[in-house]
């Protein structure tokens, strides 16, 4: 199988590339720049260019059996600042890509959606895929529209797609820009001698999935015949205050010293509690998360220290 990874040089994409290569799959990556934390992989064909360029996307998809689409021009915290750019860069780009792909013999199109934003404030946790979609920010609204258009493409043109509604992925190679990825952001701050910042009282609950578990789920999605959406989380909720305690233990055990978080006022954009029901991914795709949070934190902390040159 030959797979095109759109956005394959990013944090999640780099792990999916590893996972697919290990499974003997031929990988082409389209992204706007190379991976940030390691040199190009010998066995990957890289195409660097504008991921909003439909012609380039269409050419890159030539002779591919499947596509994994991970690219986004926005993140949740920035999308609200310019919803027109969010809709144009992500939704309109996707519609043009779908049109360009029509008639191609694609086996599968896997799209990375957002389990943390498409449901909005959930009626219940863990959240099943059938839960109403009531996104409260631009990022989630745009993801929902893309999901709906992917399903329309399936009904009208038989387009085989699988939508992964990811919760909060973390792990090695996560950027430390501070705009996305609370675990990466915390660990980078600690490595640089800064205090991790907790918004509100730390009672906000999130579902953290190790990026290699997410990559394995993406592989399962690619080889599955199912069309629809599945939640991609750990199925376990962790309060931010407990995450910080776990980070404190992991960092102390490494001999790095004490971690003291700084508490900041709560943010209105934070949904209080997001935990995804992952029963569908388990049953339909035979997948399950394998890396526990503490184990994942230890590994990620070791990687962050190595990158940051911390002792």
Q: How many Å is the Cα radius of gyration of the chain? A: 19
Minimum separation from the CB atom of position 267 to its own copies (A): 12
Report the C-alpha gap between 14 and 33 in whole angstroms.
12
Report the C-alpha gap between 66 and 177 in whole angstroms.
31
Q: Are 139 and 75 a contacting pair, CB within 8 Å?
A: yes
Residues 243-282 that bind its own copies (CB under 8 A): 268
Minimum separation from the CB atom of position 83 to its own copies (A): 5
Q: Mapping DSSP to helix (H, G, I), strand (E, B) and coil, where does residue 284 land?
A: helix
Among 116, 122, 135, 237, binds its own copies (CB under 8 A): 135
Minimum separation from the CB atom of position 54 to its own copies (A): 10
| Residue 307 interacting with its own copies (CB under 8 A) | no
Pair of tokens at residue 50 = 């504008």
| Residue 23 interacting with its own copies (CB under 8 A) | no
Q: Mapping DSSP to helix (H, G, I), strand (E, B) and coil, where does residue 193 land?
A: coil
Residues 32-91 that bind its own copies (CB under 8 A): 80, 83-84, 87-88, 91
Minimum separation from the CB atom of position 273 to its own copies (A): 18
Query: Quick one: 123 or 295, whose CB is closer to its own copies?
Result: 123
**How does strand 161-166 pair with strand 228-232?**
parallel
Minimum separation from the CB atom of position 241 to its own copies (A): 26
Minimum separation from the CB atom of position 67 to its own copies (A): 19
| Residue 156 interacting with its own copies (CB under 8 A) | yes
Report the C-alpha gap between 28 and 45 in whole angstroms.
5
Query: Quick one: 156 or 311, whose CB is closer to its own copies?
Result: 156
Total residues at interface with its own copies (CB under 8 A) = 29
Query: Quick one: 90 or 234, whose CB is closer to its own copies?
Result: 90
| Residue 96 interacting with its own copies (CB under 8 A) | yes
Q: Where are the alpha helices (DSSP H) in the chain?
A: 11-22, 54-60, 76-79, 83-86, 93-101, 138-157, 182-191, 211-223, 240-253, 279-285, 293-308
Nearest by Cα to 291 from 231, 236, 223, 239: 236
Among 137, 180, 231, 300, binds its own copies (CB under 8 A): 137
Count Cβ atoms below 10 Å from residue 12 Cβ, excluding itself: 23
Contact footprint for its own copies (CB under 8 A): 80, 83-84, 87-88, 91-92, 95-96, 99, 130, 132-138, 141-142, 144-145, 148-149, 151-152, 155-156, 268
């Amino acid at each position: 199988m030959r797979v095109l990874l759109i956005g394959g040089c990013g944090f999640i994409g780099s792990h999916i590339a590893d996972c697919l290569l290990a499974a003997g799959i031929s990988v082409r990556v389209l992204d706007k720049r190379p991976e940030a934390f390691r040199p190009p992989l010998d066995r990957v064909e890289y195409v660097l260019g504008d991921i909003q360029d439909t012609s380039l996307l269409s050419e890159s998809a030539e002779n591919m059996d499947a596509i994994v689409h991970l690219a986004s021009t926005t993140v949740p915290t920035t999308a609200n600042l310019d919803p027109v750019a969010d809709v144009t860069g992500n939704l309109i780009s996707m519609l043009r890509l779908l049109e360009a792909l029509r008639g191609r013999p694609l086996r599968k199109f896997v799209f990375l959606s957002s389990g943390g934003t498409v449901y909005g404030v959930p009626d219940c946790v863990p959240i099943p895929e059938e839960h109403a979609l009531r996104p409260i920010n631009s990022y989630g609204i745009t993801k929902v529209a893309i999901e709906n258009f992917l399903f329309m493409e399936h009904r009208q043109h038989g387009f085989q797609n699988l939508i992964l509604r990811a919760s909060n992925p973390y792990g090695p190679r996560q950027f430390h820009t501070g705009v996305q990825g609370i675990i990466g952001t915390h660990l980078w701050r600690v490595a640089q001698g800064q205090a991790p910042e907790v918004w509100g009282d730390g009672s906000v609950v999130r579902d953290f999935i190790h990026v290699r578990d997410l990559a394995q789920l993406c592989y399962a999605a690619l080889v599955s015949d199912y069309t629809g959406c599945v939640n991609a989380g750990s199925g376990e909720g962790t309060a931010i205050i407990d995450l910080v305690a776990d980070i404190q233990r992991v960092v102390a055990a490494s001999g790095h010293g004490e971690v003291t978080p700084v508490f900041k006022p709560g943010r209105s954009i934070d949904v209080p509690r997001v935990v995804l029901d992952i029963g569908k991914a388990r049953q339909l795709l035979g997948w399950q998360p394998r890396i526990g949070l503490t184990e994942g934190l230890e590994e990620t902390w070791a990687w962050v220290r190595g990158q940051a040159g911390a002792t």
